[in-house]
Chains A and B, each alone.
Chain A
Amino acid sequence: MLENDFPNALQWHPDPIVLDAKVAEAKQKLLNSIKRSIYVFRVDCGGCNGCEIEIFSTITAVFDAERFGIKVVPSPRHADLLIYTGAMTRSMREPALRAYNAAPDPKIVMSYGACGCTGGIFHDNYCVWGGTDPILPVDVYVPGCPPSPPSTIYGFATALGILDQKLHASHNVAPADEQVPIAFPAIPYKVRVAFEREARRMSGYYYGKQIVDEFMLTLTKDTKDALKAADSLIASETDTRKRAVFMDLKALLMSKVVDE
């Protein structure tokens, strides 16, 4: 990353806009008194467009943000709330500032999506500022990549003070000499590795893990007859693709069974 290799004094950093006291006070009043009916202007500062699509699905019939009076307007001059999406590319800094200055004070700024909050997946790209807050004072952060329509509505509700935020910063210190039980102690380690490889080969990284965990959990639950447990798992599975993987895993299990 450039920040790490290049002396800080020689780098140019954008100065975030600082609210003056009067505007800040007015904004606090606005945040306290406004309950619904806010007009929203959307500024895309270099996202992948996923966030935009979710904003638009928030105002469609299923989620219908307009029933609260939340309306997407075509000009920042009408807006109470500005939604900034995207990781704030260097060339979008100026347009972002222009939109901000065009909106009447007091205004609420929402950082939308992982990109808007911190830069998200693009955070260490050479051409981004890494989110909205290096440039503008942000009031509400809506994480997600992209945030689903319900989480967008939740974000609006949080900004308007209708719902309380659920997340809170936490820091814990683990006690020394805490022990973790071994996962699947009944299955020999090498067999477990073989299962996990096979499942990932069959159905990819995320689902492979879920399928192999389900399979191994079934095996270990039945302490008497693991093969019968595997059979009943295969028989009860309705998804044929998943059943194929289970059958494959069982074949692997059979190949490891040694007659005594």
Chain B
Amino acid sequence: MLKLFKEIRKTGSATLGYPFSPIEMPSGFRGKPEHNEKLCIACSACAIACPANAITMELDPDQNFITWDISYGRCIFCGRCQEVCPLFAIELTTDFELAVMNKDDLRESCSYPVARCSKCGKPYASAKEVDYSRRVLESVGGPAAADIKKVDLCLDCRRFDDAEAFAHQAPDRKEA
């Protein structure tokens, strides 16, 4: 009997102190995705990649803002958003203390102003993203930056523009 007690004393307790003492999660633990609103360009890559649709992007009814929204209640902590983000704007942390009493507290959102097409005036992307792509194209230079002005156009107008340019290149029918 005494031997048993000695053994127990020697082994000690395996139980962790949490919640009375803090617990260190191992690095690589996939916890709460932290969104850095300043770095985010609202490009929607994370919203497209998110398998659980925890991240959504929606255009406001008055079409002036696009809203990035995350629901931690739907997130499955897969890290896809972190992987696709071009700017380190969303990264998984080791924060695991996410329980809430009120479901609305699981949501975080941020609205970004949208850019409007310089031709037809339709909103087509967030202004930050357009600005960022313009600067990236400038830094690449060469043929990629040749039609840099077209970043101001929406997809439809760009297609229209391309078709027009193509028509100008094509040999004139009457001459042929």
Question: Contact residues of A with B, CB < 8 Å?
Answer: 61-64, 67, 114, 117-121, 123-124, 131, 133, 138-145, 147-148, 150-151, 153-155, 157-159, 162-163, 165-174, 176-180, 182-183, 185, 188-190, 205-206, 208-209, 213
**Complex Cα distance A180/B25, Å?**
31
Q: Quick one: given A139-B101, A153-B18, A155-B99, are A118 and B74 in contact (CB under 8 Å)?
A: yes
**Of A141, A145, A188, which is within 8 A of B100 by CB?**
A141
The residue in chain B whose Cβ has the minimal distance to the Cβ of A188 is B140
The residue in chain A whose Cβ has the minimal distance to the Cβ of B89 is A180
Q: Quick one: given A114-B76, A123-B53, are A183 and B105 in contact (CB under 8 Å)?
A: no
Known: A167-B105, A205-B80. 18 other contacts (CB 8 A): A61-B14, A118-B73, A120-B74, A143-B98, A144-B96, A145-B75, A148-B96, A150-B97, A151-B98, A165-B99, A167-B72, A167-B106, A173-B111, A182-B132, A182-B136, A182-B139, A183-B86, A209-B82
Contacts of A190 in B (CB 8 A): 140
**Which residues between 128 and 156 of chain B lie within 8 Å of chain A, taking CB atoms?**
128, 131-132, 135-136, 139-140
**Which residues between 82 and 141 of chain B lie within 8 Å of chain A, taking CB atoms?**
82-83, 86-88, 95-101, 103-113, 127-128, 131-132, 135-136, 139-140
**Complex Cα distance A141/B82, Å?**
24
* B23 contacts the other chain (CB 8 A): yes
Closest Cβ of chain B to A183, distance in Å, is 6
Contacts of B87 in A (CB 8 A): 180, 183
Question: Contact residues of B with A, CB < 8 Å?
Answer: 14-16, 18-19, 23, 25, 29, 37-42, 51-53, 65, 71-80, 82-83, 86-88, 95-101, 103-113, 127-128, 131-132, 135-136, 139-140
The residue in chain B whose Cβ has the minimal distance to the Cβ of A133 is B103
**Complex Cα distance A133/B80, Å?**
27
**Of B18, B37, B71, B107, which is within 8 A of A150 by CB?**
B18
> In the bound complex, do residue A166 and residue B65 qualify as a contact, i.e. CB atoms below 8 Å apart?
no
A-B contact pairs, 8 of them (CB 8 A): A120-B76, A142-B98, A148-B29, A155-B99, A167-B98, A180-B39, A182-B139, A183-B87
> In the bound complex, do residue B128 and residue A143 qualify as a contact, i.e. CB atoms below 8 Å apart?
no
Contacts of B113 in A (CB 8 A): 174, 176
**Of B19, B109, B111, which is within 8 A of A163 by CB?**
B19
Contacts of B107 in A (CB 8 A): 169
**Complex Cα distance A21/B131, Å?**
55
Closest Cβ of chain A to B140, distance in Å, is 5
Contacts of A168 in B (CB 8 A): 105
**Complex Cα distance A189/B135, Å?**
12
> In the bound complex, do residue A185 and residue B77 qualify as a contact, i.e. CB atoms below 8 Å apart?
no
Contacts of A166 in B (CB 8 A): 95, 97-98
**Of B73, B80, B97, which is within 8 A of A117 by CB?**
B73
**Complex Cα distance A82/B109, Å?**
31
> In the bound complex, do residue A170 and residue B76 qualify as a contact, i.e. CB atoms below 8 Å apart?
no
Contacts of A119 in B (CB 8 A): 74
**Complex Cα distance A209/B101, Å?**
35
Q: Quick one: given A178-B38, A180-B128, are A140 and B96 in contact (CB under 8 Å)?
A: no
Contacts of A142 in B (CB 8 A): 98-99
Contacts of B135 in A (CB 8 A): 182
Contacts of A162 in B (CB 8 A): 19
Contacts of B38 in A (CB 8 A): 174, 178, 180
**Of A67, A154, A159, A171, which is within 8 A of B97 by CB?**
A154
Closest Cβ of chain B to A21, distance in Å, is 19
